A and B are shown apart, each in its own frame.
Chain A
């Protein structure tokens, strides 16, 4: 085995999170930053997201996924960050030792002074939503269909039924249609769509694709290739209503049933995970429960907007640089607690109030005319109003502690309440 490398920082994953984290770590003063990506190129999921709608916050214009990635790839090329492509990280130990592998060097051992996790998320599959029926070919996740059509130029099917109304599913309904396939309909078990109104309008309504709320697939017909599905209406307990079943012939069932953070390495490194986000707990610098291991982007929680991913990554990159250059001991954290109508909050921990902190969170149910606050005891550290909040759209409140003092603060509460005025 070759000699052990000891860089200042290793970034694992070269999507938008890894790209922005590596750039931030480098511009904050780290000379030896190594970015490891298993794919043949940088960009993560973005090269396959050919639609526009990226970057409205960061760049104030709407870019396509590839355009958004290109800006960071170009910027990275102007730094001395070292990129290792086609290299997979197999193991990460709690003491930050990394084992990576590629076909050129075989196994590579790395002992970095800081690590930034940016492995993104993976799609939920039919096994996680327990669909009864055969196990035929032709059941495919939305992201996989997107990769086939937009990167490889292959059509996964000609007559498609979509289960789940997440944004990727909606985007793919349009894409399948424009590529000549028929999308019979989108079936959503909840009584409200999972995706943005913009996508309902521009991906379904524009192409007259029906959206069936409170419906699910109850059977997949096979055996060799999907021959059809049975769909049914569901009641308030989400159970199929007897007698409402309908058989739909199709050759493809596409699933758009959610994303979950990629956790393999987080678990191996013994990071404490948040049971609600399914990603690691992080503090205001995006540092995890293990000293020197940071995390950002969709590996932490599924941010809806790439702009938020980039933002979290820049914080992680600066955090890792501070850790390496200043090496201060960590303070004990204050916990951030989800209050009324808040499902979870990122960051979950705060160790220092020296800088302003943006709290990202998701609500539990839709609510109109709200006031969103971050409180410490009786004191309000940040507040924002919104005409409307929805579970599929993340909300954010910037907060600050005047003077940066945190003495006596035990816990922070983020809550959403009806706006009294």
Chain B
């Protein structure tokens, strides 16, 4: 079956409105793009949209109660909510270094979740 899907290109301020036409999941054409980037973007958004996940986890004995974390790469968009939920139950112990792995292989994606910053212990705080 042939159907079309709408996207807005996010790659430059022109924000081209894109229309992707597909048949049984096979991309036939992308209309509306002023340049190749838009076509590629619509295809990626249709076949495998990905997003970087950012959230916080609990820290014990830190100068702050929460530690901001990020996925090192984008993961499939449909997993974002589940990823944030699974990270909500994680607690780490201060001190933490930026880039320290907080959760390896997030939901089997092969992507790690790392700390976005250094966080000292309360006693180590000058």
Contact = CB atoms under 8 A, between A and B. Distances in A.
Contact of B10 (A51, A69, A201): A201
A188 B49 CA distance: 27
Interface in B1-15: 7-10, 12-15
Contacts of B48: none
B84 A178 contact: yes
B64 interface: yes
B89 to A, nearest CB: 13
A265 B104 CA distance: 47
A153 B58 contact: yes
A345 B54 CA distance: 34
Which of the four size classes fits the interface of chain A?
Answer: 20 to 34
Nearest to B64: A151
Nearest to B83: A178
A136 interface: no
Nearest to B13: A388
Contacts of B8: 197, 200-201
B13 A393 contact: yes
A277 interface: no
B93 to A, nearest CB: 16
B65 A67 contact: no
B106 interface: no
B105 interface: no
A153 B65 contact: yes
Contact of B70 (A64, A153, A206): A64
A202 interface: yes
A152 B64 CA distance: 7
A388 B56 CA distance: 36
A202 B8 CA distance: 11
B117 A51 contact: no
Contacts of A201: 7-8, 10
Contacts of B34: 387
Nearest to B59: A153
A52 interface: yes
Given A153-B56, A200-B8, A388 B51 contact: no
A206 B77 contact: yes
B98 A150 contact: no
B12 A388 contact: yes
A202 B80 CA distance: 11
A388 B16 CA distance: 11
A405 B107 CA distance: 62
A70 interface: yes
B13 A386 contact: yes
A67 B99 CA distance: 9
A393 B13 CA distance: 8
A52 B54 contact: yes
A192 to B, nearest CB: 10
A56 B11 CA distance: 13
Contacts of A410: none
B15 A64 contact: no
A19 to B, nearest CB: 14
Looking at B9, B54, B77, B98, the one whose CB has the most chain A CB atoms below 10 A away is: B54
B56 A368 contact: no
Given A178-B81, A393-B13, A52 B68 contact: no
12 contacts: A50-B56, A50-B68, A51-B54, A52-B70, A67-B70, A153-B56, A153-B58, A178-B81, A197-B15, A200-B8, A206-B51, A387-B12
Interface of B: 7-10, 12-15, 34, 51-52, 54-56, 58, 63-66, 68, 70, 77, 80-81, 84, 98, 116-118
Given A66-B68, A66-B117, A198-B10, 7 more contacts: A50-B55, A151-B66, A201-B7, A201-B8, A386-B13, A387-B14, A390-B13
